[in-house]
Amino acid sequence: MPKSLRLGTELEQALDRYCIETGETTSAVIRQSVAEYLVRRKKKQSAPSAWDLGKDLFGADRSPAGQGNVSGRVKTLIRGKLRAKHPR
């Protein structure tokens, strides 16, 4: 089924140069480009997002005793570890 599209001057010139260099027809290059684009889009939509991959790790409490709000008590925790390592 014929389709019509408008290409900017620069894109049209680049396409023409590519077709001359490779000996391919403009239609073949456009068909191949659209097919590759659609495959990439489909893969991108079906791939899990960064959030989906790491959601079980985000905000996970990594303190040894399962204590919450570690970021608010960093100095206290570090001080405790240093004192345990180097008792007075």
The answer to the question of residue 39 being in a domain is: yes
Instruction: Confirm whether 36 is domain-assigned.
Output: yes
The answer to whether the predicted template modeling score (pTM) of the entire model surpasses 0.75 is: no
Find the mean pLDDT for residues 8-36.
96
Residue 83 domain-assigned (yes or no): no
Cα–Cα distance between 57 and 35 in angstroms, integer? 37
The per-residue pLDDT for range 24-71, each reduced to its tens digit, is: 999 999 999 999 999 999 888 888 888 888 877 776 555 555 556 667
75-83 mean pLDDT: 88
Domain that includes residue 16, residue range: 9-47
pLDDT tier at 21, thresholds 50, 70, 90:
very high
pLDDT at 52: 82
The per-residue DSSP string of 72-84 comes to: GGHHHHHHHHHHH
